[in-house]
Amino acid sequence: MRRPLALALLLLVPVAATGQVKTATELKAEAEAMLETFPHKNSAAASVYRGTIVFLNYCTTCHGTNADGLGRAAKIYNPKPANLRMSLKNDAYKQQIVRRGGQMMGRSEFMPAWGEELTDEQISDVVKYLRSIAPADAPN
Ligand code: HEC
């Protein structure tokens, strides 16, 4: 049983020397650097990041992966799912239509109400994501 170990060590040393295997110190330094750059959970960046995931999970069938209104199911609806990259609605309106659905807002009944499905945080995150892709001149 000694030989395989010796062999493994012999193989490992040159690999470490060429930098392909990282030492514990290097890994620790990398982890610390990541912690410094990863956005804090209360930051706007973290919210947008989480909102992107909400959007990809719940909204793309109709609004499309690019949020341009060209999802797989878009062609069966009239009016079409909104192009959310061009939306001039403010955040409060978006929050309302996402929570209560299109019909309650006097819009298409095919925009579902998400208030029972998504948490308050998910709704606020997805609205932050929509803000991040909205036209620069869209009202807040
Ligand atoms: C089943 C299809 C469908 C799904 C899924 C869907 N939507 Fe919609 N959405 C629509 C349709 C259709 C409209 C357009 C309503 C209208 O014009 O009357 C719309 C409109 C909107 C609007 C209004 C935009 C504006 O400028 O007026 C927002 C915001 C929106 N959707 C967000 C979302 C979000 C966020 C999700 C995921 C949580 C989502 N939608 C999922 C169909 C959908």
Determine what percent of the chain is predicted with pLDDT higher than 70.
86
Is residue 21 pLDDT above 90, yes or no? no
Measured from the CB, is residue 89 less than 6 Å from ligand 1? yes
Q: What is the mean pLDDT of residues 106-114?
A: 98
pLDDT tens column, 120-135: 999 999 999 999 999 9
Q: Give me ligand 1 centre to Cα 122, in Å.
A: 15
Q: Ligand 1: distance of its center to the CA of 61 in Å?
A: 10
Sequence-ordered list of residues with C-beta below 8 angstroms from that of 138, at least 6 positions apart, any chain: 87, 88, 89, 90
What is the torsion angle, in degrees rounded to the nearest 10, for the CA atoms of residue 63, residue 69, residue 72 and residue 77? 100
| Mean pLDDT, all residues of the chain | 89
CA dist., res. 124 & res. 60, Å (int): 17
Tell me which of 26 and 128 has the higher pLDDT.
Answer: 128
What is the percent of the chain where pLDDT is above 90? 71
Q: Residue 110: CB within 6 Å of ligand 1?
A: yes
Contacts of 74 (CB under 8 A, 6+ apart): 62, 63, 64, 80, 81
CB 140 within 8 A of CB 90: yes
User: Each residue of 37-90: pLDDT tens digit?
Assistant: 888 899 999 999 999 999 999 999 999 999 999 999 999 999 999 999 999 999
Please state the domain extents for the chain: 2-37, 44-133
Peptide bond into 79 cis (omega under 30): yes
Residue closest by Cα to atom 34 of ligand 1? 59
Q: What is the third-level CATH fold of 44-133?
A: Cytochrome Bc1 Complex; Chain D, domain 2 (1.10.760)
The pLDDT of residue 8: 52
119 vs 37, more confident = 119
Determine the Cα–Cα distance for residues 6 and 2; give it in Å rounded to an integer: 6
Q: Measured from the CB, is residue 63 less than 6 Å from ligand 1?
A: yes
CA 111 to ligand 1 center in whole angstroms: 5
Work out whether the CA dihedral 31, 32, 38, 40 comes out positive or negative: positive
Residue nearest to atom 14 of ligand 1 (CA): 81
Pocket flag, ligand 1, residue 51 (CB < 6 Å): no
